[in-house]
Structure 1
Amino acid sequence: MTGVSRRIGIGAAIARRLAATGTSLFLHSWEPHDADQPWGADSNGAELLVEELTATGARVEHAAADFSEPTAPASILNQAVGVFGHIDILVANHARSSRQNLDQLTCEEIDLSYAVNTRASMLLVKEFARQHSGVTPGRVILMTSGQHRGPIPDELPYIASKGALHQLTISLAAHLAPRNITVNTIDPGATDTGYADDQLRREVIAHEPMGRWGEPDDAARLVSWLTGPDASWVTGQVIVSSGGGP
């Protein structure tokens, strides 16, 4: 599972939910990305999450990697297989976040966003499929955003690279279905992971039919279901889990 750098994030919630079901976990993080963001890094967050989960009896390993490096996705999957012998589930939860509108747009940010959000996710799926034993069903979960449900003009590199994952879902699912691997993508909607200021929080709540932001565990429950046996006939889907909000 990738993108588990902050204990308040969706990745950490998914890790907790899967660990509670007895799933062994190999977690990926890249703290320097959060350190460059307005919300800041959760210092040693991934290591502390590993301690938290192993204290419950779960088997959890961790490695850091910069997914802007082309070889990083295969390296992470190889490490996971080296530790556990095989892998059954890939949750590509990582994301590079950037705020650039059309006037601010730079080639460098476009390339970095596609490298981390799109290229790394595709290479992770490729390596997962290569390494998957086929003995048990495989599950791939990708994460998109809300770019297909409304305009997000101030985050163009981010939504372009996340939109690509949305469009890839059905084709990846078709390619991997004969190998008994499902591929689905989740749009978790506005989720309270500590990045929003007071103004943004008010703006989002004003449009939320249920009167609240999404919580990380909302996405985690869906991921847990999609990785389990009850979702074996669900593939190629982009699932919005947003409480009915825009």
Structure 2
Amino acid sequence: MPRLPHPSTDELRRDPLPLRGRTALVTGASRRGGIGHAVARRLAAYGAGVYLHHHVPHDAAMPWGADRPEDVVASVREALGDPGARVVAGPGDLSDPAAPAELIATAASALGGRLDILVANHALSGGDGTLDEIDAAMLDAHWAVDTRSVLLLVQAHARLRPAGPGGRVVMMTSGQDIAGGMPGEIAYALQKGALASITRSLATTLAERGITVNTVNPGPVDTDYLTGDAYDAVAERFPGGRWGMPDDPARLIAWLATDEAGRITGEVVNSEGGFRR
């Protein structure tokens, strides 16, 4: 094969809106303190139209609570780089096997009939335990939300999107295979590990359709779930002395969605900020 020429000077100059004209679905964006909201803001700032999926009952039942969807949408709209791009939100209980395909179709329709980028950020919190504590119901609940729904979202995305460059899938894992693992969250760790393990297979499957598939481990991120001495103890384990903030993994995920990352696929990318486990 002939060697490709070096990029031109114009090509080397970064487009301030590298996702202009593209559309994205970000799942698990029920609150402004979360990673999903930060990812949506970055994608919007890069020019993309964004559909924000939320499941308010889940976050409302957690100690951190949920925001009003209209407030999350307003925050993302503030970041829009392309004033012609749309920001839309809608609900979905992804424990329902029919919900992933419905969500993909709804998001694509709301964003003009096309969906280029899927960021599967949602996860089930709570209802977990140690090896001695888990039971079949816990395992099934985490499987349904954390793994099955993600694979069905990817399947529906691949079926709907026309083949061609620019397709992106980003899944989320949790560092469950690093150092001491997550012995207190066996069900969650198992399902997040499954996503990391399937990344390469999905990337190979979808390469001919122009869709890259990568999985991001954001490391410990301050999403308002820990306070006090426990919070400070975690901060001390970072070389910089601070937690990761939601925008830290969001910058990585947004970059993976751009053409600059077109050759990055099948990878599990750790973004832990040097965290010492």
User: Tell me, what secondary structure is at the counterpart of 1:151?
Assistant: coil
User: Tell me, what secondary structure is at the counterpart of 1:182?
Assistant: strand
Return the offset for 1:43. Answer: 3.3
1:177-198 deviations in Å (ceiling 9; x for gaps):
1111100000000000000132
| Structure number, greater radius of gyration | 2
1:43 maps onto 2:67 in alignment: yes
In 2, Cα distance between the equivalents of 1:157 and 1:38? 20
| Correspondence for 1:155 | 185
1:129 maps onto 2:150 in alignment: no
Q: 2:170 touches 2:216 (CA, 8 Å); kept in 1? A: yes
Partner letter of residue 138 of structure 1? Answer: G
In 2, Cα distance between the equivalents of 1:211 and 1:234? 30
Partner letter of residue 207 of structure 1? Answer: R
The equivalent position to 2:221 in structure 1, one of 161, 181, 191, is 191
Partner letter of residue 181 of structure 1? Answer: I
Return the offset for 1:218. Answer: 0.4
The equivalent position to 2:102 in structure 1, one of 61, 71, 75, is 75
How many residues matched?
A: 244
Return the offset for 1:72. Answer: 0.5
| Correspondence for 2:168 | 139
1:19 maps onto 2:44 in alignment: yes
Partner letter of residue 153 of structure 2? Answer: L
1:29-58 deviations in Å (ceiling 9; x for gaps):
11111122232x2231x3211123335544
Return the offset for 1:210. Answer: 1.8
1:212 maps onto 2:212 in alignment: no
Normalising by the residue count of structure 2, what TM-score does the alignment of the two structures yield? Answer: 0.85
1:157-188 deviations in Å (ceiling 9; x for gaps):
11111111010101000101111110000000
1:54 maps onto 2:58 in alignment: no
In 1, Cα distance between the equivalents of 2:117 and 2:151? 15
Normalized per residue, the structure richer in helix is: 1
| Correspondence for 1:244 | 274
1:81-125 deviations in Å (ceiling 9; x for gaps):
222211110000001122411222121111010100000000000
In 2, Cα distance between the equivalents of 1:27 and 1:38? 22
User: Tell me, what secondary structure is at the counterpart of 2:131?
Assistant: coil
Unpaired stretches in structure 1, ≥5 consecutive residues: none
1:91 maps onto 2:126 in alignment: no
Moved more, 199-208 or 170-179: 199-208
Return the offset for 1:135. Answer: 4.1
| Correspondence for 1:110 | 139
In 1, Cα distance between the equivalents of 2:186 and 2:59? 19
Q: Matched residues, percent identical?
A: 46
1:187-238 deviations in Å (ceiling 9; x for gaps):
0000000001323212212221221100100011001110001000000000
Q: 2:32 touches 2:67 (CA, 8 Å); kept in 1? A: no
User: Tell me, what secondary structure is at the counterpart of 1:73?
Assistant: helix
Normalising by the residue count of structure 1, what TM-score does the alignment of the two structures yield? Answer: 0.95
Q: 2:165 touches 2:209 (CA, 8 Å); kept in 1? A: no
